Amino acid sequence: MAVQEAFTARWQPVSYKRKTMLTREGETESFLYFVTEGIQRAFCFDPAMQKEATLVFTYPPSFSGVVDSFLLQQPSRFFLETLTASKMLRLHYDDFSQLLQEHIELERWMCIALSVQLAGTLQRQQELLCYNAEDKFKSLLRRSPHILNLIPHKYLASYLGMDASTFSKLLGNIII
């Protein structure tokens, strides 16, 4: 069986309602997802401050899941939830591991995919640490202008590391 056929044959279609928790902090991620419809977010929660911080949004066509927990099979430090009703394909860790053993070409694909993911994560880290609120906002709009219409602004504010009132002021003052 060709690599592509073997890979796609293992994915199972799933549907979730809005605000479904797919992964909770402390659980080990069992699935890698590919989003075909809907929006999801990964976030962490600080119980001392009673505050959430959004780490990433996923929407079609993209992969989703708590990737470090999935790949390392360690408890997740994050939550993954659907923000809207979502349709996805999912691949169980056991199937993923078996595919990697059977098809060495998939390891090369994984290396490339993780390299792209790391580059994006480092860019985001630079923005969070080095940019002021306005520059973070502008960078988000350059990268994903459509996102303002897809995701509630309170989650976008959290993603940018600012409070909702600052986000609202930027939204009102910056020409889009």
Say if CB 58 and CB 35 are below 8 A apart: yes
The answer to the question of residue 71 being in a domain is yes
The answer to the question of residue 150 being in a domain is no
Tens digits of residue pLDDT in 33-85: 999 999 999 999 988 888 899 999 999 999 999 999 999 999 999 999 999 99
Q: Which residue range forms the structural domain that includes residue 19? A: 3-103
The answer to the question of residue 35 being in a domain is yes
The answer to the question of residue 153 being in a domain is no
Strands ordered across the beta sheet of 62-64: 12-16, 86-92, 31-37, 62-64
The answer to the question of residue 37 being in a domain is yes
Tens digits of residue pLDDT in 4-32: 888 888 999 999 999 999 999 999 999 99
Which is nearest to 28 in space by CA: 78, 90, 91? 78
The answer to the question of residue 155 being in a domain is no
The answer to the question of residue 96 being in a domain is yes
Domain tally, the chain: 1
Whether this model's pTM surpasses 0.75: yes
pLDDT of 175 above 80: no
The answer to the question of residue 42 being in a domain is yes
Which is nearest to 161 in space by CA: 137, 139, 128, 138? 128
- Under the banding of pLDDT at 50, 70 and 90, the label for residue 173 is confident
The CATH number of residue 33's host domain is 2.60.120.10
Q: What is the mean pLDDT of the chain?
A: 91
